[in-house]
Structure 1
Amino acid sequence: MPSSSDIPPPGKPHKVFDRDAEWQELVAFACDRRPEVRLGVVSGRLRQGKTYLLEALTSALGGFYFGAQQGTQAESLSHLAGEFARYTNDSCAPHWHGWEDAVDDLLALGDRCPTPIVIDEFPDLVRQSPSLPSVLHGVYRRHDGGRPGRARLLLSGSSLPLMHRLFSTASPLHELSDLHLTLRPFDYRRAACFWGIDDPALALLVHAVVGGTPAYRHAYVHEDSPTGREDFDAWVCRTVLNPGRPLYREAYHLLQEETDHKDRALCHSALSAVATGCATQGQVADCLGAPLTDTARCLGLLREHGLLHSEPDAFRPSLVRLCVAEPLLAFEHAVVRPHRSALAQQDAVAVWKHARPGFDSMVARSHFAQICRDWALHFAGPDVFGAPARSAAHGSVADPAHSGGADVAAEVVVRGHGGVRKGTLLSVGLARWDEVMDLVHLEHLRGLLDVLADRGEDITHARPACYSGAGFSPALRAAEAQGQVTLVGLDRLYGRR
């Protein structure tokens, strides 16, 4: 008979799409046979599949899973005790006097062999029992000096600010935790596979609406995926604009669950401003007519919860650009929100006909540019730019040759070793979702490089690049053949060539 240490770890269940690296990390943590209790942390925004993955782990390894809910401490302890009794096949639930008793019993589940013990949405328990992190710390320290155990406690949560505070380097729990796993949305290529979409143009359009959040593929749209590019408009109408589908209210639910109620109205307005083109904190404040301090607090809250990203400009050290992190929120606030009242009175098809131009001009274009930056940073090989990319950002610089020093911009500025502002300039690129690009775009990039050179930027290694969702003219293709420009179309973005 083989010993338990010879039994291979379980393979990832077929029902779990992708997440291979995350599964391997969780299994390695849960099956570690060292005779000591261990603590792991799993975090990520809502709807990223944390619960799905952790339930699969405990099912595969015979572990214990408890999903916390908002409530009182007494109610949570009662629910946990009931789940504990079912797991241990006891006829009556234990009567715990507090969290110390509960944690002691949970860790005892791993006395004989490595056992994963999952507490999902741990922040909900901390909100009702602020002393719980200290209790955990104390119990772990007691176990370190007492009987050996192999409990593998995994604490999961969607509240990113609270998870960060609980397990940051300044927290006593940080020194106890030796697994920190973050579940992120699928990248745009994996999202296309997840949705079963082979057409790159359609994949990009769908990603511009729902992003790479796994939960939206199934229950939120009732398994509905567009059958082709010609079905995209109808798919939008029967899913995200359909009051009978959960996706219809999801953007509002995201903000309601992630932010404090007193800031929610301002957060909606701030997201609308950013989604419709306000790129800086000052522009958002001007758009909202709100004090800069209130705007800064609101934007900080959105960043804390992972709903808003701030990215430094590639050429201006003092300029920080804002972008909405969750595509569904950008779609809602730029396209749907202005038409919400019409949706309550008119057919979705008629409303979408009026909203579609805004989607194309604001959402799809900016989303395409972001995907181009993602490609340059994560998928382009080192031969594309002559060296590995270390950053890809939007960049703009004032051109003194134009009246008033108008900005000359590039949506995809790639730098090598040294980062977004000090790294070697490898490429400057334009991203055009719905334009067939021609030599005029190449000339724009050459002009930008001249301006940068005049300002002291080393452009020796910089390659012009054109990114298009509509294609390239024969003249631009000829320039590519002569090594004058790098061309990146949808097929290349999605790895089709």
Structure 2
Amino acid sequence: MSPSDVSRPAKPEMVFDRDAEWDALVAFTCDDRPDAGLGVVSGRLRQGKTHLLKALTATLGGFRFGAQQATRDESLRRLDDELARYTGEAPPGHRPRWEGVVDALFALGERGRPVPVVLDEFPDLVRQSPELPSVLHNAYRRLRGTGRANRTRLLLSGSSLPVMSRLFGAAAPLHGLADLEITLRPLDFRQAARFWGIDDPRLALLVHAVVGGTPAYRVYVADDTPRGPDDFDSWVCRTVLNPRTPLFLEPHHLLQEDTDHWDRALCHSALTAIATGCRTQGTIAECLGTPLTDASHCLMLLQANGLLHGEPDAFRPNLVRLRIAEPLLAFEHAAIWPQRSALEQLDADEVWRRARPVFDSAVAGPHFAQICRDWVVDHADETVFGAHPATAVHGSLPDPGHHAGPDLEADVVVRGRAGARSGALLSVGLARWDEVMDLHHLRDIRRLLTLLAPGEDVTRTRPACYSGVGFTPALRAAEADGEVVLVGLDRLYGGE
């Protein structure tokens, strides 16, 4: 886009973080070129899209229409009424077709200055009006054909990731029209700690293991944050396990809204299987007792909606491991799902007393390992591993000493950049949430490196230990000698 002479406003204080997204939206909206522009804002539910777009239109004097699950005629009437209120003009009578309403929206950009025009939750409009994308396409074609100046900056927002993908895919009418595409993701673990106002890194990780980086969840608990590490258990009981808070039923609502009325029972069971240790399609189908085709359909649906994430194993790339991308769903299906019926008979304190050991082992531990992987890619200085990390994933190898036993596991396997092939093996590490790490952990990593040596260049691979509770003096001495990289909670939340 061409540079703009229009002044670009600072981000309002009401918007936490989202600096890059705000800058991109303002640059798009304030661009003074005399052509109508189209932007796309997508992201899962509760990530703050509406909050951000409301701030944008309020700051720049734009127009925003929040779509609802309503009939075509009701949506057209509501949009007409809100347009009349925005312009201050008398309602022209309700337009019966989208062509007239779209023309009225683009007329807002004929007044000289760039004007942001937001259609929020655009997929809800398209479900009842499948012709709408073609109407917009034709409107853009007419505007560009006439050469008449128009500075409408239309922003289409949506939470249904599969629908948004289809609407702007290669065969869709709107394909190729967008000047801007933004995906709003959850806050990362450091941003989330600041958002919740938590300074203690252990408490910050525990809270993140429950609610992740979804901004809306702080509103869902009326800004109730733990007062300190000793308040965490009570905070869980008075928020996520409290039927009077919206967070109590949020896991159910996430599947209800994101799975588009498919087999939600199967989705719940699949998430429970993953949360309790199953990681591949085959083991999940076996756990569910369903055909692999049915399990695969369910898992693909969850992945398309951003609720599951699949990653190839670091050492066996044909083995794809699945993990739950939304921490609240992992928390629910590992620790709370088996106790749901008990919540109707017992108080939350008793239910949480039963669930807490499962949370520590099946939720907090794996979540800590994922935070360590995120730290490697997003925050670690390139000097830590000798090069800039490109990926950090889980890895596993068969144990040659125990052919029928469990695999040897590496929680944080770091590789550098290398085009289409696997990059250099920069580091192999273990992550232990509630275990003080010692020299025997370093020996386990060295054994893994020995097994990898025939097929990998491990001469520069750095062993790493990640712990939520610390390291022994002997391991600290090994770090001082350059034998191992040590990463604790303080480094995760404040170091490189």
TM-score higher than 0.5 here?
yes
AA matched with 1:172:
P
Counterpart-to-counterpart distance in 2, 1:351 and 1:119: 43
SS of the residue aligned with 1:55?
A: helix
Give runs of ≥4 in structure 1 deviating > 4 Å.
none
What amino acid is the match of 2:307? L
Task: Tell me the TM-score normalized by structure 2.
Answer: 0.97
The answer to whether residue 221 in structure 2 is matched with residue 245 in structure 1 is: no
**1:216 corresponds to:** 217
For 2:114, the equivalent position in structure 1 comes to 114
Q: Deviations over 1:79-104 (max 9, x none)?
A: 00000000011232442131111111
SS in 2 for 1:66: strand
- Equivalent AA in structure 1 for residue 369 of structure 2: A
Instruction: Note the alpha carbon deviations across 1:6-62, whole angstroms, 9 max, x for none.
Output: 552111111110011101110111111100001000000000000000000000011
TM-score for the superposition, normalised by structure 1: 0.97
Alpha carbons 1:270, 1:284 under 8 Å: kept: yes
Counterpart residue identity of residue 212, structure 1: G
Partner of 2:39: 40
The answer for the alignment partner of 2:22 in structure 1 is 23
Query: What CA distance in whole angstroms lies between the structure 1 residues aligned with 2:184 and 2:369?
Result: 24
Query: Do the aligned partners of 1:439 and 1:476 also contact (CA within 8 Å) in 2?
Result: yes
CA RMSD of aligned residues (A): 1.3
> Per the alignment, do residues 290 and 187 of structure 1 end up closer, same or farther by CA in structure 2, a change over 3 Å counting?
same
CA contact (8 A) 1:399 1:451 kept: no
The within-5 A match list for 1:148-227 is 148-218=149-219, 220-227=220-227
State the Cα distance separating 1:496 from its structure 2 match: 5.1
Tell me the residue number matched to 1:140.
140
CA contact (8 A) 1:479 1:485 kept: yes
Distance, in Å, in 2 between the alignment partners of 1:393 and 1:268 is 25
Aligned to 1:491: 490
Mapped contact 1:391–1:420 kept (Cα < 8 A): no
Aligned residue for 1:95?
Answer: 94
Measure the CA separation in 2 of the matches of 1:421 and 1:362: 33
Q: Quick check: 2:80–2:91 contact (8 Å CA) kept in 1?
A: no
Aligned mates of 1:447, 1:276 — CA distance in 2? 28
For residues 412 and 428 of structure 1, do their structure 2 counterparts lie closer, same or farther at Cα, with a shift above 3 Å needed?
A: same
Question: Distance in 2 between the 1:122 and 1:194 partners?
Answer: 28
Contact 2:6 2:32 in 1 (8 A): no
SS class of match (2:109):
coil
Secondary structure, counterpart of 1:422 in structure 2: coil
The 2-side partners of 1:65 and 1:240 are apart by 32
Deviation at 1:401, TM superposition (A): 3.0
What CA distance in whole angstroms lies between the structure 1 residues aligned with 2:325 and 2:443?
A: 32
Q: Spell out the pairing of 1:45-64 with structure 2 (5 A cutoff).
A: 45-64=44-63
1:201-236 Cα offsets, whole Å, 9 max, x none, are 000000000000000112x00110001000000000
Q: 1:416 maps to what in 2?
A: 416
The count of residues paired between Structure 1 and Structure 2 equals 491
Letter in 1 for 2:418: G
Q: 1:420 to 1:263 in 2, by over 3 A?
A: farther
1:112-170 per-position Cα deviation (integer Å, ceiling 9, x unaligned): 22000000000000100111111111111001011220000000000000001111244
Superposition deviation, residue 385 in structure 1: 0.2
Indicate whether 1:317 and 2:334 are aligned: no
**CA–CA distance in 2 between the matches of 1:162 and 1:347?**
41
- Partners in 2 of 1:438 and 1:325 — Cα distance? 31
Secondary structure of 1:35 counterpart: coil
Q: CA deviation at 1:421?
A: 6.5
- Is there any run of 5+ residues in structure 1 with no aligned partner, and where? none
SS at match of 1:224: coil
Aligned match of 1:393: 393
Mean Cα deviation higher: 90-99 or 230-239: 90-99
Spell out, residue by residue over 1:346-387, the C-alpha distance to the aligned partner (whole angstroms, 9 max, x if none): 110011000000000100000000000001111101000000
Q: 1:110 is paired with a residue of what secondary structure?
A: helix
**How many angstroms apart in 1 are the aligned matches of 2:328 and 2:406?**
33
Matches within 5 A, 1:74-473: 74-111=73-110, 112-146=112-146, 147-218=148-219, 220-404=220-404, 406-418=406-418, 422-454=422-454, 456-473=455-472
